[in-house]
Chain A
Amino acid sequence: MSFLTTEGVARSELEKILYLADEFTEVLARPIRIVPALQGKLIANLFFENSTRTRLSFERAARALSADVMTFSAGSSSLSKGESLKDTALTIEAMGVDLMVVRHSSTGAPRRIDQWTSCLVVNAGDGAHQHPTQALLDAFTLRRHFGGIEGLRVAIVGDIRHSRVARSNLFALTALGAQVTLVAPRTLQPVEYQDWPAAVTESLDEELSRTDVVYLLRIQTERGGASVFPSLPEYVSRYGLTRERFARLPKESVVLHPGPMNRGVEIDDEIARHPRALILDQVANGVAVRMAILFRLLGAR
């Protein structure tokens, strides 16, 4: 079974992956940080849209499981020669690939590749749709920090409309028992949220005192995120996590950010370095969580 979305995934399956990630965290703390679990498996990382942390994180995860890895990045590919997505996918499948990790700027591209090929597919981010491994590493980070996710109050703040991270986290965290509130100016609220299991508000200031987790999204200029509010200073004044706002959060609360950060926009530079900002924990946990997902998909084959 491919891993394309967090929407509709059962809580028990999410918990299995988080449990496996605990085991791989232990593996990554060993003197020799590699296990032969996926020896002989071939994984292709297909990054049609640029990425640094996600691509490196998947590479690290695959290598720590002893899988062979091929990586292709947009720009260096035959896409610039006009090859279709389908032909590219079939060509790479013909090389004997067991699993493809796909990032694409278009919603649904990983699912199409899953339909065209007999490879397993992991969605590493598609358009403004889903980024399920990010959501699981966020859930894992919160579970390790708080001991559990049930009952946590999570405010996801920023450009909800253009954010695959927000969508993936909403469904994963809700399935795991958290209460999610989406905080955004009306122009950045999603159009379909009426069907979502979340509260929606325009006011970050009203949420501050009653939240355990502030999840800040990046303002995505490449997806039109900067054009829908008048100016960055105005955004910061209403939605930036400034020192003043941070001081009004409960003492046990934490801050997450999927990166890359716009320091001084969605997050104050000093807050980004605060011990209650778990941003580098998220990155570190990403490797173990992706190992868990790759092992879950390929380990029993």
Chain B
Amino acid sequence: MPMVMAAADIGRSLTRISHEIIEKSGDVLPVLVGIHTRGVPLARRIAGVIEEVQGVSVSVGALDIGLYRDDLAGRLTTELAGTRLPTDITDRTVVLVDDVLYTGRTVRAALDALSDFGRPAAVRLAVLADRGHRQLPIRPDHVGRNLPTSRTERVSVRLAEIDGTEDGVWVEGAEG
């Protein structure tokens, strides 16, 4: 299975996304909210870069969309990882962070979940990889890498914090 992003690529992408977020923000930095599972460490890493560059602390939260999915019938688990928002998001800019953007259904669920906590001034979307095949009118604001894939392929992301291995992104064939 071919690796399409190595650890160094992921690091550079996250650094660029962090700078884009700083550039787009005014005086008030946004709240970063990672979508479980791998969006959470990505949000923390982006926050780390922003904090280093700007010298201020950035609020990071975690969003579990397990209670908001619209494809429940296909879901085999009732595990929840938990939602923790560090601050009131009303009138703040929120940047949702996820690893792979695909159909857009996860992001739709995340938007529903966020709206139960308050009314953000704006919500933006940052993803490590965009593999296309959207089924909803959702587009990312910050993209690490565009990955043209077919629907039968699988994109897998590994991150040190979650998987205990070196970072990487792979595209696997339908059989693989």
Contacts and interface: CB of A to CB of B under 8 A. Distances in A.
Interface of A: 16, 20, 22-23, 26-27, 30-32, 34-37, 65, 295-296, 299-301
For the complex of A and B, 5 pairs with smallest distance between CB atoms: A35-B67, A37-B67, A299-B78, A32-B116, A23-B80
B118 A31 contact: yes
Contacts of B66: 37
Interface of B: 64, 66-68, 72-73, 75-80, 82-84, 112-113, 116-118
B116 A31 contact: yes
A300 B116 contact: no
Contacts, number: 45
B107 to A, nearest CB: 16
A13 to B, nearest CB: 11
Contacts of B113: 35
A206 to B, nearest CB: 43
A37 B64 contact: no
B117 A30 contact: yes
Q: Is the interface of B mostly helix, strand, loop or mixed?
A: loop
A35 B75 CA distance: 17
A135 B112 CA distance: 34
Nearest to B68: A36
A20 B78 CA distance: 9
B118 to A, nearest CB: 7
A31 B117 contact: yes
Contacts of B118: 31
Contacts of A36: 67-68, 112
A180 to B, nearest CB: 29
Contacts of A299: 72, 75, 78
7 contacts: A22-B82, A23-B82, A26-B83, A27-B67, A35-B67, A35-B113, A299-B78
